[in-house]
Structure 1
Amino acid sequence: QSIVVEPLAYYQGENSIVWYLASLDPSAGYSWPQPASDTVYSVTVSNVVIAGSPRSFSYQVKVFDPYVPGPDAAAAELAGPDSVPVGSPTTYGLSPLGDVTTFEWIEGAASLLTAVEGADTDLGPFVADITPGYDPRAQKPKFQYSKCYLLTHVAPVPGDEYLTHSGTLLPGAGAALNFECRVSNATEWQEGQVQVSLDDGTSWETLYRRTGWYDEENDFWGDLWFNPVTVSLAAYEGRLIRVRFVYHYIAGNGHSYYPWNPDLTWHNGIGFYIEDVAFENVQLLGEVSSHETDASTGVVFTPPVAGSYALAARGLLFGEYPLEWGPARLVTAAGEAPLSVSFDGVPSVAAGTFKATIRLSRSQPGATILVERASSAGGAWATDGQAIVTTLESGLRYQVSAPASGGAGFLRVRVP
């Protein structure tokens, strides 16, 4: 095959020889399909004349998915107890990761997901990233007064449509995603998918596919009815994941598709319809807090209240490029946080009297409030016999007043 030498242009590298699969058109935009496994191509370039002599060069090219971990992949792991006391700092060790010196770690209250999500009132926990032109809360085909989720392709340029669960999820043993769906008025180039991400949405793995198909018996492209689907999440046990639905268009020459048409949706619909979304044995992390640490310090976790928490860590290459999250730990916090005292408002000194309102961190019926005085912050503390404590809210708020005359001094309030 003859080689065409392209003219030199600005912002381009030097002339080189590239190869492509015979089935592809290099003049048209094309995304290389995600390989199911590593694929090795053998390339031979023959009759290369160097110093007047023809030579041949042979080499191999491996096409691989950069988001699939290799056999030497490692992730940050936490070592520490599964049960901790409320309000007390507990340190977890971090497994070393090559040249990584900085780590990010997160904490979040974990609760079991039990809700069955539809779209009757709103999108619920899902966020739609779609092409303008249709409502992701659509009328359920054949059910005039019911709603369901919808992803569909819009002319003239069909693109991928997304419905992403907004939460950070933690699957347990035997975890699964259950839902019902139908891909209606869809060709074999239109595909409903379920995808999972281990890295906050940077990369996604497709776990389920449902493509359009021709139903000869009913002379119809796609599904006529909703189909129950169960997608196993067991492989992600103990890992933090994100989940999304995708309506994917498989681009290519001659790849036809059914575009959205609001006038034709009542009976069978057009697109990827989804309803009754539910998770089995999957924890949802509440408000997630993020922190940075180093390997020597480890993770110091102080649970504010009793309950179940998830902790996870990942390395930061060069201190800023995040790696994949390591396995999460479910930690149970028990007990009550140590009682603390704080000012409720700004203390004041007037007419020789110090006044302050104090608040306890939690209700303590019958609490004893001690006011103590010292000549220096590090000195010996003694009970101030002239101080007056007035109850504002029993067990919670009090007003403290004490003489402020007689020179410099320090006051403190203590609940024994």
Structure 2
Amino acid sequence: MVLLSACQKESGQTFSPGQAKTESSLSGSVLLGDALPYPGLQPHHFSDESEQAWRVPASNTGGWAIDPSNRQLARAFYNSVYLASNNTPIAWTGNHSTCTPGTTSSEFKDAVLARINYFRAMAGVPASITFNATFNTKAQQAALMMSANNSLSHNPPSSWNCYTADGATAAGSSNISWGHNAWNAVDGQIQDNGIDNHAVGHRRWLLHPQTQTMGTGDVPKVGSLAAANAIWVFDGNAYSTRPATRDDFIAWPTKGFNPYPVVPVRWSFSYPSANFTNATVSMTQGGTSIPVALETVANGYGENTLVWRPNNMTANQNWPKPTTDTSYQVTVSNVIVGGSPRSFTYTVTVFDPQTAGVGEEQVTVSGNTSPPANTPATYTFNPVAFAQQYEAYIAEIAAATGVYNAETGSLNVTDGTDSSYTLVYSGSGTNGTNVYRLAPATESETVEFPRIYIPSSNSVLQFDSKLGLATNEQTAAMQISLDGGASWQDIYSKTGTNSGSVEETAFSTKSISLSAYANKLVKFRAQYRHTGYRYLGTGTNVSFLVDNVQINNAQQVVAENTQNTGSNTSFNFTPVSGKRYALTARVIPWAGYPGLAWGSLLYSETSAAVDTQPNAFSFSAQTAVARSTVITSNAITVSGINTGAAISVSGGSYSINGGAFTNAAGLVNNGNTVRVQHTSSANYSSSTNTTLSIGGVTGTFTSTTAASTGTYALNVNKTGTGSGTITSSITGINCGTDCEEPVITGRVISLYAKPVTGSRFTGWTGAGATSCTTSTTCRVTMTEAKTLTAHFDLVLTAKTVGSGTITSTDGAINCGTACSQAYPNQATITLTATPASGYGLYSWAGCSAVTGNTCTVSAFSASKTVTATFRPLVPLTVGIVGTGKVTSSPVSLIDCGTDCSEAMVTGKIISLYAKPVTGSRFTGWTGAGATSCTTSTTCRVTMTEAKTLTANFTSP
């Protein structure tokens, strides 16, 4: 890939393109076709790249603050956020032939943006870059121009294919790349390899602290036209106030832990306005000095920067994968800051992000390893400090079986190969005719096997393979993933020798121990990759062929469920009887991104489900049993339970295994025998029931007494002051006229008492009426001869309204609300109303005659109700002016002169009479109570309230 960096003049704020920096041509011969345009700059190491289409969440493309001194956090940031950008589809809508720049998908742009902010967060500068829509549009035109012309220029001539003014503007304001686009271009611009990128200008612009907005334009490779990218980096903020950064300098690789795939050959140290002319760099590894090659100091690309190459590495190398964490102490000396020399010392540790560090926080699930089946079970796990969310994983597992041999097509494998050839090739298999073929069509060709496995300490990955012609930059590998396919690492690899002959002339069986991955969730894939020179074509002589892939002595996931628990550190699931499960959880450090590797596995196998519900049971009914006799049922045997079940009884008692009978609740076990018993009815042809309940299942035992063989006499009578009739549920009783019938022994007879109008039924009496009430219906069981009497009476009911009592002269009635008493026909009853204090008798109702407070009921011949109404007393006061007197009626209480005030019953109408003495004359009524009176000597007053009136007389 070829890069050109946007340049900035130091003398002012005018931006202009710098001199085009071209890289030298690739040396060496091309084998069997054209090699890549330039392989010297590799944006990442394909051995750990995911082919899975993870997506960068649109809501979380930056704003991160990372502490790279925490190895686990730096490792998580790479495996979750960095790798999530890879392989996002470009969805380009443009066209080279019509010079249509088109657009790319929003997801694609988000992936590019997240990669830029990843590097800024790691470097400790504000990682909240956003894309400007105008910058994107113009950068898209610039990228099309670079691709359409297979060239790079910050100042493209107007004669170029697909030239536009906006594209030319973007070319002068952008980092531009040719041969890669998108996140790969970002990686290349951060690495800044190649002999002409000694100033690492691309990196400096991408990491410039003041920058707030950028833009991206991307075009894919189409035929002979290479992919291209333009990242707009000049947003007008280059000279604005420098924001706070994690350190006062910007180093790349950064201070702290750095995943080796993002470590460049060129290291850099930036400090604003510093003078690096005479600065030096020294590095040590494990206390031993290592040589350093300084690059020429070049200002004008963001902040002033010193660049060097450790170990005198060449500009086109990639940083090697370390076998263990490797720390370098860096000292930058004689940096002139504000006119004074300063020195800076920091440590850079390069590590493999696929290797967990010592003491990393791990998620460990705990809970019942033998839960009951079909019952919800709760499991918990420990929190991890930097987790935003968690995922729980429940897997049903079984012994691993099956072989991937391509004989039935792809067998649900994930085909990660180029569309120019088919994954399954016929004619070269070792077990049949088919084989999986990975040809060197792109940088990474893969076939991913679908199952998830759990290796044991003696598990083995076994496969047959053969590698054809391969350069020393082509590698065939079998890979393993510990995080569901987000990242991969080699467990077997074979790199070509560039010998000119096929690397393997025949298939051979490889056996790879998986003991290092025991009790982990893993997936497998085969990969064929190249990092530079490669043989071209898709024939088997240049391909990596794989067959008969199998995993031995392991478990495989047969069903799975993943739960996002948010911030909760617990989850639930309901196990099924007879199943074995593996449970785990993992951290999601950044919402929307892939989770990290799963934690340790907790194995769970269901215990037998608790079953307290027995099989159905029943008792045999017994008939024609003796009356009033203890009857015992047949024995039933309890079955279908595996623990003690509750037992209870109603209407009798039970016995377990021949023990004592009881009616108390208890427990019964599988195989126990149970009987119930009760006392039979005292009546003929009558049933008695006993219900037994075991674990919610019930059964009823019934016994029925024998029928009677004779009859008994049933006699009914009537009595009382009233009248009525008695009928029955059998033909014959209709008393009135027929009051006696013979009835079969044991039969139950219903008798019905019906009073005539004016009479009331008041109850049953007699030896046969012991079970009857005051209801008009009486049920009689004929266990013997029985006589019953129905009482019909004439009833006088006395009721009061208001406060007061009613009493009768015979003392039978004495009540304050309502009471009743039976009286003989034609009786005379005298009742007296006695008001409560403050009340008076207002009226009687229902009387034959009323005298004062006395009510007389004469010739009593039908039930009736008498009501006395009491009302409060209110005062009536009379005054006299002049000479005369006032009397009243119908109550002769007022006699004024002498008695001028009396309490009257509310509602009563009182007549007042004014009588002048001889020689006087009555002139009228006055006062509040006289409103309805005239000059007449008579005044009628309704006592709705207390009232006062004055009678006025002239003097004699």
* TM tier relative to shorter chain: 0.5 to 0.7
Is 92-101 or 115-124 further displaced after alignment?
92-101
Asked if the contact 2:370–2:607 (Cα under 8 Å) also holds between the matched residues in 1, the reply is yes
Structure with more strand by fraction: 1
Give 1:16's match in structure 2, choosing from 272, 283, 305.
Answer: 305
Instruction: Give the C-alpha shift of residue 334 in structure 1.
Output: 4.3
Asked if the contact 2:390–2:569 (Cα under 8 Å) also holds between the matched residues in 1, the reply is no
Asked if the contact 2:383–2:569 (Cα under 8 Å) also holds between the matched residues in 1, the reply is no
Give 2:548's match in structure 1, choosing from 258, 276, 283.
Answer: 276
Give 2:456's match in structure 1, choosing from 159, 172, 180.
Answer: 172
Instruction: Give the C-alpha shift of residue 149 in structure 1.
Output: 0.8
Instruction: Give the C-alpha shift of residue 103 in structure 1.
Output: 2.8
CA distance in 1, matches of 2:341, 2:591: 50
- 1:208 equivalent to 2:492? Answer yes
Instruction: Give the C-alpha shift of residue 195 in structure 1.
Output: 1.3
2:478 is paired with a residue whose SS is strand
- 1:181 equivalent to 2:468? Answer no
CA distance in 1, matches of 2:345, 2:389: 42
| Residue 603 (structure 2) aligns with | 330
- 1:298 equivalent to 2:570? Answer yes
CA distance in 2, matches of 1:18, 1:298: 50
| Residue 371 (structure 1) aligns with | none
Higher relative contact order (CA 8 A, sep 6+): 1
Give 1:235's match in structure 2, choosing from 516, 519, 538.
Answer: 516
Is 159-168 or 143-152 further displaced after alignment?
143-152
Instruction: Give the C-alpha shift of residue 142 in structure 1.
Output: 8.4
The amino acid that maps onto 1:150 is R
Deviations 1:300-344 (A, max 9, x none): 23113421122111133366653321012222124469799xxxx
- 1:124 equivalent to 2:411? Answer yes
CA distance in 1, matches of 2:607, 2:319: 52
CA distance in 1, matches of 2:569, 2:488: 32
CA distance in 1, matches of 2:377, 2:431: 55
Asked if the contact 1:75–1:324 (Cα under 8 Å) also holds between the matched residues in 2, the reply is no
Give 1:61's match in structure 2, choosing from 348, 351, 356.
Answer: 348
Instruction: Give the C-alpha shift of residue 60 in structure 1.
Output: 3.6
1:235 is paired with a residue whose SS is helix
Asked if the contact 1:307–1:334 (Cα under 8 Å) also holds between the matched residues in 2, the reply is no
What is the correspondence of 1:86-97 to structure 2 with a 5 Å cutoff?
A: 86-97=373-384
CA distance in 2, matches of 1:337, 1:102: 35
| Residue 74 (structure 1) aligns with | 361
CA distance in 1, matches of 2:412, 2:696: 44
The amino acid that maps onto 1:220 is S
The amino acid that maps onto 2:511 is T
| Residue 444 (structure 2) aligns with | 160
Asked if the contact 1:213–1:221 (Cα under 8 Å) also holds between the matched residues in 2, the reply is no
| Residue 138 (structure 1) aligns with | 425
Is 64-73 or 53-62 further displaced after alignment?
53-62
CA distance in 1, matches of 2:388, 2:340: 53
CA distance in 2, matches of 1:339, 1:278: 45
| Residue 400 (structure 1) aligns with | none
CA distance in 1, matches of 2:582, 2:512: 23
What is the correspondence of 1:215-230 to structure 2 with a 5 Å cutoff?
A: 220-230=501-511
1:293 is paired with a residue whose SS is strand
* TM-score (normalised: structure 2): 0.31
CA distance in 2, matches of 1:190, 1:309: 41
Shift in CA distance, 152/42, structure 1 to aligned 2, threshold 3 Å: same
Q: How many aligned positions are there?
A: 325
| Residue 807 (structure 2) aligns with | none
Shift in CA distance, 130/33, structure 1 to aligned 2, threshold 3 Å: farther
Give 2:435's match in structure 1, choosing from 140, 148, 151.
Answer: 148
CA distance in 2, matches of 1:139, 1:40: 50
Shift in CA distance, 108/53, structure 1 to aligned 2, threshold 3 Å: closer
Is 47-56 or 110-119 further displaced after alignment?
47-56
Instruction: Give the C-alpha shift of residue 230 in structure 1.
Output: 0.9
CA distance in 2, matches of 1:214, 1:318: 43
CA distance in 2, matches of 1:16, 1:339: 78
Instruction: Give the C-alpha shift of residue 46 in structure 1.
Output: 4.5
- 1:257 equivalent to 2:534? Answer yes
The amino acid that maps onto 2:589 is L
Shift in CA distance, 53/295, structure 1 to aligned 2, threshold 3 Å: closer
Shift in CA distance, 54/165, structure 1 to aligned 2, threshold 3 Å: same
Deviations 1:11-36 (A, max 9, x none): 685343343454343xx7x7544332
Asked if the contact 2:443–2:531 (Cα under 8 Å) also holds between the matched residues in 1, the reply is no
The amino acid that maps onto 2:305 is S
Shift in CA distance, 305/182, structure 1 to aligned 2, threshold 3 Å: same
Asked if the contact 1:88–1:337 (Cα under 8 Å) also holds between the matched residues in 2, the reply is no
Structure with more helix by fraction: 2
Aligned-pair Cα RMSD in Å: 3.4
Instruction: Give the C-alpha shift of residue 182 in structure 1.
Output: 0.9
Instruction: Give the C-alpha shift of residue 140 in structure 1.
Output: 4.4
The amino acid that maps onto 1:312 is T
Counting aligned pairs with the same residue, the percent is: 28
Shift in CA distance, 105/4, structure 1 to aligned 2, threshold 3 Å: closer
1:325 is paired with a residue whose SS is coil
Instruction: Give the C-alpha shift of residue 161 in structure 1.
Output: 0.9
CA distance in 1, matches of 2:569, 2:341: 62
| Residue 823 (structure 2) aligns with | none
Asked if the contact 1:305–1:337 (Cα under 8 Å) also holds between the matched residues in 2, the reply is no
The amino acid that maps onto 1:113 is A
Instruction: Give the C-alpha shift of residue 274 in structure 1.
Output: 0.7
Asked if the contact 1:178–1:277 (Cα under 8 Å) also holds between the matched residues in 2, the reply is yes
Larger radius of gyration: 2
1:220 is paired with a residue whose SS is coil
CA distance in 1, matches of 2:374, 2:430: 52
Deviations 1:184-219 (A, max 9, x none): 11222211111111112222221111122366xxx7
The amino acid that maps onto 1:187 is T
1:161 is paired with a residue whose SS is strand
Give 2:393's match in structure 1, choosing from 86, 95, 106.
Answer: 106
Instruction: Give the C-alpha shift of residue 244 in structure 1.
Output: 1.2
Asked if the contact 1:83–1:332 (Cα under 8 Å) also holds between the matched residues in 2, the reply is yes
| Residue 307 (structure 1) aligns with | 579
1:83 is paired with a residue whose SS is coil
CA distance in 1, matches of 2:473, 2:384: 42
What is the correspondence of 1:338-353 to structure 2 with a 5 Å cutoff?
A: none
| Residue 393 (structure 1) aligns with | none
Asked if the contact 2:430–2:547 (Cα under 8 Å) also holds between the matched residues in 1, the reply is no
CA distance in 2, matches of 1:144, 1:96: 48
1:132 is paired with a residue whose SS is coil
Asked if the contact 2:390–2:568 (Cα under 8 Å) also holds between the matched residues in 1, the reply is no
Unaligned runs of 5+ in 2: 1-197, 206-232, 239-301, 614-639, 641-694, 698-956
Give 1:285's match in structure 2, choosing from 530, 538, 557.
Answer: 557
* TM-score (normalised: structure 1): 0.68
Shift in CA distance, 54/249, structure 1 to aligned 2, threshold 3 Å: same
Give 1:317's match in structure 2, choosing from 589, 600, 603.
Answer: 589
Asked if the contact 1:214–1:221 (Cα under 8 Å) also holds between the matched residues in 2, the reply is no
The amino acid that maps onto 1:300 is N
2:516 is paired with a residue whose SS is helix
The amino acid that maps onto 1:303 is P
